[in-house]
């Protein structure tokens, strides 16, 4: 899961890009408690290239990266595992417009490659442009699900307003 608060829960700012990607995935890169440094370097280089992480090298501290590149490092640590489902909670909050477009492109690419994505967002344009289905949640309850051809800001807002009226 890519958390809403990446600075608190998504990465360790005083550690390198490499450490942030590899430490939660130690089982993939160590045998008998010993790191395979060559494998680590290859995987980190591959995933950073795939996600277009902009940094001098993999030893760069994540805290020194832009918000968009920090978010890419958070994504990278999960994508190393060849996951089937990615949960993204407010994936573009606090990053600049250019970085948002990069994240949107990555999300689209992941979906096209068959990765299931749950996108949690309070950004209506993001929801409208990135979703194939929208589940509207309010007050801890599922208010409804809209398929791609039904998704509109008016329908989403109507569900929310009607739920508020029922309280």
H or E stretch covering 133: strand 133-138
pLDDT(80) > 90: yes
Tokens of 1: 């899961």
Is residue 1, in this structure, part of any structural domain at all? no
Same domain, 95 and 154: no
Residues 157 and 93 grouped into a single domain: no
Number of domains in the chain: 2
Q: What is the mean pLDDT of residues 4-17?
A: 92
Q: What's the pTM? A: 0.86
Show the 3-state SS of 59-123.
CCEHHHCCHHHHHHHHHHHHHCCCCCEEEEECCCCCCCHHHHHHHHHHHHHHHHCCCEEEEECCC
Q: Residue 66 maps to which CATH number?
A: 3.40.50.300
Residues 125 and 136 grouped into a single domain: no
Same domain, 86 and 165: no
Whether residue 14 is found in the same domain as residue 94: yes
pLDDT of residue 167: 65
Residues 78 and 92 in one domain: yes
Q: Is 85 a member of any domain? A: yes
CA gap 70, 161 in Å, rounded: 36
| Residue 73 CB neighbour total at 10 angstroms | 26
Whether residues 85 and 104 fall in one domain: yes
Alpha carbon distance 87, 143 (integer Å) = 20
Two structure tokens written together for 58:
């993999």
Domain-located, residue 112? yes
Does 159 lie in the same domain as 92?
Answer: no
Look up the domain containing 92 and give its range: 6-131
Q: Using an 8 Å Cβ cutoff, are 18 and 80 in contact?
A: no
- Residue 32: count of CB within 10 angstroms of its CB: 4
Same domain, 63 and 138: no
In this structure, are 68 and 33 located in the same domain? yes
Query: What digits encode the pLDDT tens for the residues 26-62?
Result: 899 988 888 899 999 999 999 999 999 999 999 999 9
User: Do 138 and 86 fall within a single domain?
Assistant: no
Query: Would residue 93 count as lying in a domain?
Result: yes
* pLDDT single digits (tens) 89-118: 999 998 999 999 999 999 999 999 999 999
d(CA 48, CA 54): 8
């Amino acid at each position: 899961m890519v958390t809403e608060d990446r600075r608190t829960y998504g990465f360790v700012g005083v550690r390198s890009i490499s450490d942030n990607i590899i430490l939660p995935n130690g089982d993939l890169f160590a045998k008998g408690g010993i790191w395979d440094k060559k494998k680590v370097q290859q995987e980190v280089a591959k995933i950073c290239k795939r996600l277009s992480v902009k940094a001098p090298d993999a030893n760069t501290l994540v805290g020194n990266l832009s918000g968009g590149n920090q978010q890419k490092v958070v994504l990278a640590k999960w994508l190393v595992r060849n996951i089937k489902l990615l949960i993204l909670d407010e994936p573009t909050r606090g990053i600049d417009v250019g970085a948002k477009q990069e994240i949107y492109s990555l999300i689209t690419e992941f979906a096209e490659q068959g990765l299931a994505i749950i996108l949690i967002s309070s950004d209506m344009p993001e929801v409208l442009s990135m979703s194939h289905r929208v589940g509207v949640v309010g007050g801890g309850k599922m208010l409804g699900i809209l398929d791609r051809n039904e998704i509109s800001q008016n329908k989403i807002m109507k569900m929310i307003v009607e739920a508020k009226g029922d309280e």
